[in-house]
Amino acid sequence: MDSIMDSTKGIAVVTGAAGGMGSFIARRLHRDGHRVLLTDIALDAAQRIAEDLSPDGSTARASVLDVAHRQNFVDALAHVQSLWGTPTIVVNNAALTQAADLMTIDEPDFTRVLNTNVNSIFFGCQVFGAAMADEGYGRIVNMASLAGQNGGTATGAHYATSKGAILTVTKIFAKELAAKGVTVNAIAPGPHDLPVVKATVPPEKLDAVIAGIPVGKLGSPDFIGDMVGLLTAANAFFVTGACWDVNGGLFVR
């Protein structure tokens, strides 16, 4: 399968692709020549991006995917297989970001954030990873976060907890799928120049957040797209189970 992938482009599925980081990732993968299924609960927004990328729908489509439930991944796999075939690239990007006071987070909010953010990675790796393994080739990238490494700053503790779990899930599936030609890696971004950051951090506090970043500025989501492109390349077979940090020096290890 590796020799085939060296000469042909693949099939990518990106979750949470209707906006923010997911849209940058989807655009980059499409620019690399892959067919891209943009999935999100916000179908209209995902559809607009898909139509911008491929007006005739031949190389980009949009589909609804609520990542909190396993069956939805099973349905999404069947959908992309009916369109183009088994995906060769999956980017588990969808997440629920929520700021909250640590000592007053209630059970419904905690469960909702954990179910969305952890289920999305676990079942994305499980369902799509199994299909890729059957084909002998695949590239999975899980979007983690600096919050899962340093305990979070501007985001809630439930968000940080979920993002920490993603790092473990990545290692589990990397070990399980490595011998079957499927790599599984994580990217852990710090604060980036995205609407979600500006919506989460109050305007009066954003300058202080930026001042606390050693490089003195927010990250570029375009670069995250470039990193996904690198990790999903055919010759990236020797990188698996890794977490790539992109945080402007906020967390150094």
With 50 as the cut, is the pLDDT of residue 3 above it? no
Residue 7 pLDDT? 38
With 50 as the cut, is the pLDDT of residue 223 above it? yes
End-to-end CA distance of the chain: 35
Q: Which residues contact 171 (CB under 8 A, 6 or more apart)?
A: 241
pLDDT tens digits, residue range 228-253? 999 999 999 999 999 999 999 999 98
Q: Which residue is associated with the tokens 């799928």?
A: 177
Residue ranges per domain, the chain? 2-246
pLDDT tens digits, residue range 73-120? 999 999 999 999 999 999 999 999 888 889 999 999 999 999 999 999
Is 137 considered catalytic here?
Answer: no
Q: 140 by DSSP, 3-state: which?
A: strand
Chain-centre distance for alpha carbon 60: 17
Query: In percent, how much of the chain has pLDDT > 90?
Result: 85
Please give the CATH architecture assigned to the domain spanning 2-246. Answer: 3-Layer(aba) Sandwich (3.40)
Residue 205 pLDDT? 84
Burial of 217 (0-12, 13-18, 19+ CB in 10 A): exposed
Report the alpha-carbon distance of residue 119 to residue 124 in Å, rounded: 8
Average pLDDT taken over every residue of the chain: 94
Residue 196 pLDDT? 81
Residue 92 pLDDT? 98
Of the candidates 84, 159, 190, 191, the residue annotated as catalytic is 159
Q: Which two tokens stand for residue 141?
A: 């990238």
Residue 248 pLDDT? 97
pLDDT tens digits, residue range 28-47? 999 999 999 999 999 999 99
Q: 62 by DSSP, 3-state: which?
A: strand
